[in-house]
Amino acid sequence: MFSRLTALTLATTAVLALPVAARAEPGGCVKGAVAGGVAGHFIGSGHGKGGAAAGCAAGMVRRHNARKAEREGAAAQNQQPEGGQPGGNGAPPPPPTNGSSE
């Protein structure tokens, strides 16, 4: 049988181990569920589970959008031309003209 002290110790260990195992990413089901559960609890009795479910869904959408933006940003960087100049072929740009003929 678990005593209250054992249950508290296991819960504390699990909560303290989460930041070590998790990467720093926006959103996510667990983060959203915790926030939604707390919000649902303060709204009223019986709303904690619904808030947790909604928070989990919102967190998953947020993480999906963040990963998608990260992939698109990486793809855009990989498509940059080699010369460092937009639309260039690696050749230096032409010298600027000031309107006078030399």
Q: Over its length of 102 residues, how does the chain's per-residue pLDDT go in tens digits?
A: 567 778 778 778 776 766 655 555 667 888 888 888 888 888 887 888 888 899 889 988 988 998 899 889 888 888 766 555 555 566 666 777 776 555
Q: What is the b/e burial string over 8-38, where b = at least 16 CB atoms within 10 angstroms of the residue's CB?
A: eeeeeeeeeeeeeeeeeeebbbebbbbbbbe
Residue 101 phi, psi (nearest 5): -100, 130
Alpha helix (H) ranges present in the chain? 4-21, 29-43, 48-78
